[in-house]
Amino acid sequence: MTSRERVLAALHHQPSARVPVDLSGHRSSGIAALAYPKLRRSLGLPPAPVRVYDVVQQLAIVDEDVLERFGVDTIELGRGFAREPADWTAWTLPDGTPCLVPAWTGIERQPDRWVIRARNGTILAHMPDGALYFEQTYFPLADEKGPRTVREALDQTMWTAIASPPGPVDAETLRAGAQRLRSRTDRAIIGLFGGNLFETGQFCYRNDLFMMMLAGEPGKAHAFLDELMEIHLEKLDRFLAAVGPFIDIILFGDDLGMQTGPMISPRMYCEFFQPRHRLLWTRAKQLANVKVMLHCCGGVRELLPHLIAAGLDAINPVQISCRGMDAAGLKAEFGRDLTFWGGGCDTREILASATPQQVAEHVCRQVEILRPGGGFVFQQVHNILANVPPENIIAMFDAVNG
């Protein structure tokens, strides 16, 4: 069974000889650039340039030798792009480690921080000295002097304006890169689309203002979401026309949960977001032979029936430390309808702080719960952060593959 077949078996709720494994197959299953060189050294692998492909989250591209060592079955579509030296420019990580970042990013140094600007010169994000990530500093639709349309606003928010590979490419280049990647890998290819709805409102208006709009100005919220959907559907058509034949999973995003449960009620989700998710996910499946995955952090158990009804195939990262997100309960209640892409290792308490033996024991318990009958792809809960000991990372993947 190839890696692609193993992942697709899981998505079709079919068992396989070993659990499929994801590491860096998308931008919430990766590893911090600060942690990556330490991992390579601990594995006894030669030094390699640190390429920070996701500048906002400071994530490193994971090289082929590490993917092979950990038996990784997935790959992000972006790995088919930015393959030439001219695509990268030198930068330095917060601990002084030399690295490379995409040449188009345009990171600018100020006296006490790094900043990234929009094309119109507005500072979108900053990373103050001592911080490890960029954070959004500008919310365009909360600015009385800012853009008046959603289309303009998307060029002025950190998460929608700062591109990672493929980066700013035309449709022909996108198709050619996707086809080339497909021809050289048997890993399952994940195409990152985004299509965020709830989160894009937060990106544009700021969390508090968008939440108040949903509650107090529903007509205005629907008008915003209708304009956003028009943009998303246009982009989805173009994206899948280019890469649809060459990807296996299309990834959407919308963080709907907190540590204590959903950020919005099931009623509010069903009014504002479920019909639009259904439209996006149905359209994706009409355009390409893909499975739909949603990256959705937090405690979202109450929303899962409605997400499934909208056409969701897989959810990530399965944040097992949140209220209502215990793996056994999720598997029993939703395991026939939903693939759990994640939940394999708690990154909040276990991965960073436990001993390697404790990590391995925890991973084996999670796999034992989530594996039966397929419907499970192993991934730690979200990205491996900068403070995670490399021996714990190794223990985690060795436990899965052992």
Q: Is the pLDDT of residue 377 over 90?
A: yes
Given a cut of 90, whether residue 398 has pLDDT beyond it is: yes
- Burial pattern 304-340, b for ≥16 Cβ within 10 A else e, equals bebbeebbbbbbbbbbbbbbebebeebbeebbeebbb
Q: What pLDDT does residue 402 have?
A: 84
What's the mean pLDDT when you consider all of the chain? Answer: 97
Query: Does the CA dihedral 203-209-214-217 come out positive or negative?
Result: negative
Q: Which residue has the tokens 């990766």?
A: 30
Distance of CA 329 to the CA centre of its chain: 24
Q: pLDDT for 168-213, tens place per residue? A: 999 999 999 999 999 999 999 999 999 999 999 999 999 999 999 9
Distance CA 223, CA 302 (A): 26
Statement: residue 228 has pLDDT above 90: yes
Per-residue model confidence as pLDDT tens digits over 69-83: 999 999 999 999 999
- Enclosing H/E stretch for 3: helix 3-11
pLDDT digits (tens, 9 = 90+) for 3-57: 999 999 999 999 999 999 999 999 999 999 999 999 999 999 999 999 999 999 9
How much is the pLDDT for 288?
98
Checking if the pLDDT of 370 tops 90, the result is yes
Contact 70, 181 (CB under 8 A): no
Query: d(Cα 310, Cα 307) in Å, to the nearest integer?
Result: 5
The pairing of beta strand 107-110 with beta strand 339-341: unpaired
pLDDT score for 386: 97
- Fold of the CATH domain 3-42+68-84+163-401: TIM Barrel (3.20.20)
| Mean pLDDT calculated for residue range 335-354 | 97
Domain residue spans of the chain: 3-42+68-84+163-401
What would the pLDDT profile of 101-142 be if each residue is shown by its tens digit?
999 999 999 999 999 999 999 999 999 999 999 999 999 999
Nearest one of 328, 341, 334 to 377, comparing CA atoms? 341
